[in-house]
Amino acid sequence: MRGVKCLTMFALLGTVVITPRLAFADTLRTWQSGDWQAGAFAANDTKQFSQCRASKPMDPRTNVVLVYSRSGIWVLALMSSDSFRTAVGASQSVALSIDQTTNWTITAKTQAINILDLPLAAASPVVDALRHGRQLSVQTADGHHGTISLDGTDRMMNELMQCTQSYLAMEKGGTTPSFAAGQPAPAAPGAMSPQAPSVPPPQTIASPALELAATRIASNLLLQAGLPNAHLLSPAETPAALKGLGASWTSAAGAGSVVVLPSNAGPDASQVALAMIVGGANTCKGEFAAGRSTSLVDDTLVTRAFAACSDSSGTRNVHYFVLHRDGSWYIVYAVVPLEKPGANANSPLRDAAFEAVAVKAALYQ
């Protein structure tokens, strides 16, 4: 394939997970449950499903994470950019209060300098209180403290249990994991191939109709964009994460993909774009930059986002363009322009030029 370097796509959730201790892992799928960001994960070494988890911010530096592992163990964890003072492997007490009426003191273990976990027995009264309470307050012995709302936590915990049970059933020869009707469509991670980026799509809703629509839109895009040496990738070359949902393309100016998502993939285009940014922030291990904006192109609202990560392996930049009309699909374009000094000045893949042809290509509908 022509001159497009192999890049790694940002997953929608971070790669650090709890099993019940936290370890590096692969993201299998993600979804939004109220104001919780949820996902399913596999162990990085064995690639075997390990657990389903959800997180939400307690303050700008600390997230509360709730995990349901493959062994049926609940774990409450804190992940913070402010290091915990106890040594890795050491323990400290954590005070939990729900609705300021029920209190527990639990011994937590420092799994890493910024990760503290609190294993909870399956029948623990804390688990039941989390399901039915309105507010959780947390106070660690070394000074980390804050509160979160528990609205929607009962539903989220049910989703985590169903998620884990579904993956375990699949290991025994069952079907692809299924999820409750009405649950927001989950997004699964994809790897950016040497030819094109893979937009993280919902695995459980893939269909020939969506893939056909994405392929036609991608064909229209290449015809109208005038990209040099552009062509669609064959089914064998297309990243596995796009199968049934999207199409990939490559050119001498850069590479890209088109994914078509059903209308329930998110509350609006802004949230779909935000999911891309959140995924990048959680997985980038170096300097991270991102942004989101909107513009009106030919009476069509285009939501743009970018995510850039610079680490020891280099710099990776992905540009997203999300289009949506009421009652219709979300169309998500992902673009990786050619990284070459001066190449973007007049490139057909610069944002203003690309979004114009992206809107026209989407008129396929």
> Mean pLDDT throughout 67-93?
88
pLDDT higher than threshold 70 for residue 28: yes
69-78 confidence digits (pLDDT tens): 888 889 999 9
> Mean pLDDT throughout 99-116?
87
203-218 confidence digits (pLDDT tens): 335 567 778 888 899 9
Q: Mean pLDDT for the chain?
A: 76
Numbered ranges of CATH 2.60.40.1880 in the chain: 16-171
pLDDT higher than threshold 50 for residue 270: yes
Better-predicted residue by pLDDT, 94 or 263: 94
pLDDT higher than threshold 60 for residue 228: yes
Alpha carbons within 13 angstroms on the beta-carbon side of residue 193 total: 23
**pLDDT the model gives residue 173:** 67
Which are the contacts of 290, defined by CB distance < 8 A and separation ≥ 6?
A: 277, 280, 281, 305, 306, 307, 308
**Dihedral of the CA atoms 171, 174, 177, 181 (nearest 10)?**
-150
Nearest in space to 141 (alpha carbons), one of 57, 81, 85: 85
**pLDDT the model gives residue 27:** 75
Residues 203-362, CATH architecture:
3-Layer(aba) Sandwich (3.40)
**What value does the CA radius of gyration of the chain take, rounded to a whole number of Å?**
21
**pLDDT the model gives residue 11:** 30
230-260 confidence digits (pLDDT tens): 899 887 777 766 666 788 888 888 888 898 8
**pLDDT the model gives residue 345:** 55
**pLDDT the model gives residue 14:** 25
**pLDDT the model gives residue 2:** 33
30-45 confidence digits (pLDDT tens): 888 888 988 888 876 6
Superfamily of domain 16-171, CATH level 4? Invasion associated locus B (IalB) protein (2.60.40.1880)
**pLDDT the model gives residue 114:** 82
Cα 278 to Cα 270: distance, rounded to the nearest angstrom? 12
The b-or-e profile of 26-54 (16+ CB within 10 A means b, else e) is bbbbbbbbbebbbbbbbbeeeeebbbbbb
**Dihedral of the CA atoms 178, 214, 261, 29 (nearest 10)?**
50
Nearest in space to 120 (alpha carbons), one of 51, 66, 57, 84: 66
163-200 confidence digits (pLDDT tens): 888 888 888 765 545 444 334 333 333 323 334 455 54
Q: Which two tokens stand for residue 338?
A: 């050619």
Query: Is residue 335 a contact partner of residue 354, using CB atoms and an 8 Å limit?
Result: yes
Better-predicted residue by pLDDT, 364 or 336: 336
Sign of the Cα torsion 58, 63, 69, 73 reads negative
> Mean pLDDT throughout 292-317?
82
pLDDT higher than threshold 50 for residue 10: no
Express as a percent the part of the chain with pLDDT over 70. Answer: 76
**pLDDT the model gives residue 282:** 65
> Mean pLDDT throughout 73-86?
87
Least confident residue range of 67-71, 115-119, 315-319, 356-360: 315-319
Cα 108 to Cα 86: distance, rounded to the nearest angstrom? 10
**pLDDT the model gives residue 18:** 27
Nearest in space to 30 (alpha carbons), one of 140, 187, 158: 187
pLDDT higher than threshold 70 for residue 226: yes
**pLDDT the model gives residue 123:** 54
> Mean pLDDT throughout 293-321?
83
> Which residues, listed in sequence order, are joined to residue 115 by a DSSP beta bridge?
79, 112
Most confident range (mean pLDDT) of 20-29, 150-159, 314-323 is 150-159
53-68 confidence digits (pLDDT tens): 998 999 888 889 999 9
**pLDDT the model gives residue 65:** 92
Express as a percent the part of the chain with pLDDT over 90. Answer: 16
**pLDDT the model gives residue 279:** 66
How many other β-carbons are positioned within 10 Å of the β-carbon of residue 6?
10
Numbered ranges of CATH 3.40.1000 in the chain: 203-362
